[in-house]
């Protein structure tokens, strides 16, 4: 298992010069206000990065052992200081990256021992953009192995490489997935923000249950090159942060076209500074569609959602109830699409890696898992892999993709927005975190959320914390049309400002009744 060394971080902190820890620094005085100098800001960025490394060592490798981070960058402090002095957009902010996204520092494993040596010595284009914008790669985060697309009765947040990720709000409860480590790490203050990836719920669910902001952008806004794939039609990377503003800032750094990813051909047209007008965004007069059938039947989640609706009304929003039932064939066809695209996509990725890998296609991965069953298959199998290996009918795949997209996009989100004359749709994102159960697998709440619509259509989906159930966070989803990313972020920021509830803080302990 890839682990960090507590000693390295402790030594880094101990080695900090005294003036960096406690001595006063020079400031510029303008109109009786003390303005930090560039050198002060650089020093602060260095201290913040080192503090985050110390938190990771204290609470991820020791203490509650959240298992959210599987590799850490002990040079982050100096890198943060240098980035501030270079005067770039992110100014040395430290970002953790899901371990299915390539970075030059470490292997990219997708949580599987089959990729434990997948050191490609290359940055994914979104990581290159992050660095160019002054962001610091603080480390890699744990995830649900193979983006939770390997076997039945799986447990979100478990991987053979990183073990089981725990929820900082209740360490005996699940962090959801597949961007489990990214969500838990941001909630635990291990980084300023993190990058996750989503095919269907893998950013928004962990963001919701870990009490952070998560944004799944329009597919094609962010490059997917050098990311371990699941679905060419649904995959996207996106930001996870503690505020909508921070998520928007991180998105501003990583969005943009990539010649190697045809889906991003129009990205530069929409890749703006997404923090623009967030502070002045208003809900006054905004028509919002409330997906009543996607609230679920848990009265505690409903009560939290109703308070969020009251906050929106108080801010001047016009709420429009929408009764909508999803067509069951949408999910069946989505599954066919994912099976077909994964088989093709993973073979292309494995064959493109310059590393010495034990498998170069899905059949090879299946064989590897069988050979390493004690480590890989102890808790659940690889039924999904086996099904994907047999999903080879391209005509059936194309029909499934056409139908699932039609139901989610043109006849789903687009129709609901147009017929009800609303700007976006809202619903609870997910229920509260469930107990970790490696024996029986996940226990998702049924009937809560509408994220699959945005995932299958490739449209933007934002989740913002809206409250909690017995100390366990739940999020509010904002879903909009294709390329409406900025408008969705503005709406989320406006809600964030008028939210009336007090959000809980992580307890770093097993759940107890309040």
pLDDT single digits (tens) 212-236: 999 999 999 999 999 999 999 999 9
98 is catalytic: yes
Share of the chain above pLDDT 70, in %: 93
Whole-angstrom Cα distance, residue 90 to residue 84? 8
Share of the chain above pLDDT 90, in %: 91
pLDDT for residue 494: 98
pLDDT for residue 20: 30
Looking at 287-352, list the stretches that DSSP marks H as alpha helix, in order from N- to C-terminal side.
299-314, 328-352
Q: Please, what is the end-to-end C-alpha distance for the chain in angstroms?
A: 36
User: Are the CB atoms for 175 and 206 separated by under 8 Å?
Assistant: yes
> Would you list the domain boundaries of the chain?
6-20+36-498
User: With bands split at pLDDT 50, 70 and 90, how would you rate the model's confidence at 99?
Assistant: very high
User: With bands split at pLDDT 50, 70 and 90, how would you rate the model's confidence at 34?
Assistant: low
User: With bands split at pLDDT 50, 70 and 90, how would you rate the model's confidence at 26?
Assistant: very low
How large is the average pLDDT for residues 387-401? 98
Q: What is the pLDDT of residues 236-252, one digit of tens each?
A: 999 999 999 999 999 99
pLDDT over threshold 60, residue 126: yes
pLDDT over threshold 60, residue 50: yes
User: With bands split at pLDDT 50, 70 and 90, how would you rate the model's confidence at 433?
Assistant: very high
Whole-angstrom Cα distance, residue 51 to residue 392? 50
Q: What is the pLDDT of residues 399-413, one digit of tens each?
A: 999 999 999 999 999
Catalytic residue among 4, 98, 166, 482: 98
Whole-angstrom Cα distance, residue 319 to residue 310? 10
Catalytic residue among 202, 223, 353, 452: 202
Whole-angstrom Cα distance, residue 208 to residue 198? 14
How large is the average pLDDT for residues 381-397? 98
482 is catalytic: no
Catalytic residue among 91, 178, 182, 452: 178
Q: What is the pLDDT of residues 500-512, one digit of tens each?
A: 999 999 999 999 9
Whole-angstrom Cα distance, residue 431 to residue 437? 17
pLDDT over threshold 90, residue 445: no
pLDDT for residue 37: 84
Q: What is the pLDDT of residues 102-113, one digit of tens each?
A: 999 999 999 999
User: With bands split at pLDDT 50, 70 and 90, how would you rate the model's confidence at 208?
Assistant: very high
* Residue predicted with more confidence, 5 or 155: 155
Whole-angstrom Cα distance, residue 412 to residue 129? 33
pLDDT for residue 514: 77
Superfamily of domain 6-20+36-498: Amidase signature (AS) domain (3.90.1300.10)
pLDDT for residue 87: 86
User: With bands split at pLDDT 50, 70 and 90, how would you rate the model's confidence at 33?
Assistant: low
477 is catalytic: no
pLDDT for residue 35: 64
């Amino acid at each position: 298992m890839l682990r960090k060394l507590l000693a390295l971080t402790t030594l880094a902190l101990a080695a900090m010069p005294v003036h960096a820890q406690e001595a006063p620094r020079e400031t510029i005085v303008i109109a009786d206000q003390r303005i930090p100098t560039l050198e002060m800001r650089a020093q602060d960025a260095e201290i913040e990065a080192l503090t985050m490394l110390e938190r990771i060592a204290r609470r991820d490798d020791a203490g509650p052992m959240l298992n959210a981070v599987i590799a850490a960058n002990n040079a982050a402090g100096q890198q943060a200081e240098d980035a501030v002095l270079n005067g770039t957009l992110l100014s040395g902010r430290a970002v953790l990256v899901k371990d299915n996204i390539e970075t030059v520092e470490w292997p990219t494993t997708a949580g599987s021992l089959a990729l434990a040596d997948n050191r490609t010595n290359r940055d994914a284009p979104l990581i290159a953009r992050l660095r160019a914008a002054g962001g610091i790669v603080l480390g890699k985060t744990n995830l649900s192995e193979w983006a939770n697309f390997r076997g039945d009765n799986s447990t979100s947040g478990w991987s053979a490489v990183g073990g089981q990720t725990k929820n900082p709000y209740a360490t005996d409860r699940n962090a959801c997935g597949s961007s489990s480590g990214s969500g838990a790490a941001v909630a635990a203050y291990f980084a300023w923000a993190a990058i996750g990836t989503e095919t269907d719920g893998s950013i928004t669910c962990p963001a919701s249950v870990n009490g952070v902001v998560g944004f799944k952008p329009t597919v094609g806004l962010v490059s997917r090159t050098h990311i371990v794939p699941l679905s060419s039609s649904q995959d996207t990377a996106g930001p996870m942060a503690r505020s909508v503003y921070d998520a928007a800032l991180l998105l501003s750094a990583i969005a943009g076209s990539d010649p190697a990813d045809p889906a991003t051909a129009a990205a530069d047209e929409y890749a703006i500074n997404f923090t623009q007008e967030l502070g002045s965004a208003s809900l006054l007069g905004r028509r919002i569609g409330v997906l009543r059938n996607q609230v679920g039947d848990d009265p505690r989640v409903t009560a939290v959602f109703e308070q969020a609706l009251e906050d929106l009304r108080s801010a001047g929003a016009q709420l429009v109830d929408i009764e909508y039932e999803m067509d069951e064939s949408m999910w069946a066809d989505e599954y066919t699409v994912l099976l077909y695209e994964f088989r093709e996509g993973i073979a292309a990725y494995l064959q493109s890696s310059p590393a010495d890998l034990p498998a170069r296609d899905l059949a090879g991965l299946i064989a590897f898992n069988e050979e390493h069953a004690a480590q890989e298959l102890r808790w659940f199998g690889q039924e999904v892999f086996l099904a994907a290996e047999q999903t080879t009918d391209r005509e059936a795949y194309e029909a499934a993709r056409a139908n699932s997209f039609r139901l989610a996009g043109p006849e789903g989100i687009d129709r609901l927005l147009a017929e009800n004359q609303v700007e976006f749709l809202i619903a609870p994102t997910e229920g509260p975190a469930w107990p970790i159960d490696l024996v029986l697998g996940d226990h998702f709440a049924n009937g809560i959320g509408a994220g699959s619509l945005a995932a299958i259509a490739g449209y933007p989906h934002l989740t913002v914390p809206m409250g909690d159930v017995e100390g366990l966070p739940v999020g509010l989803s904002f879903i909009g049309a294709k390329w409406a990313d900025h408008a969705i972020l503005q709406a989320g920021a406006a809600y964030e400002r008028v939210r009336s509830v007090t959000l809980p803080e992580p307890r770093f302990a097993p759940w107890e009744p309040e």
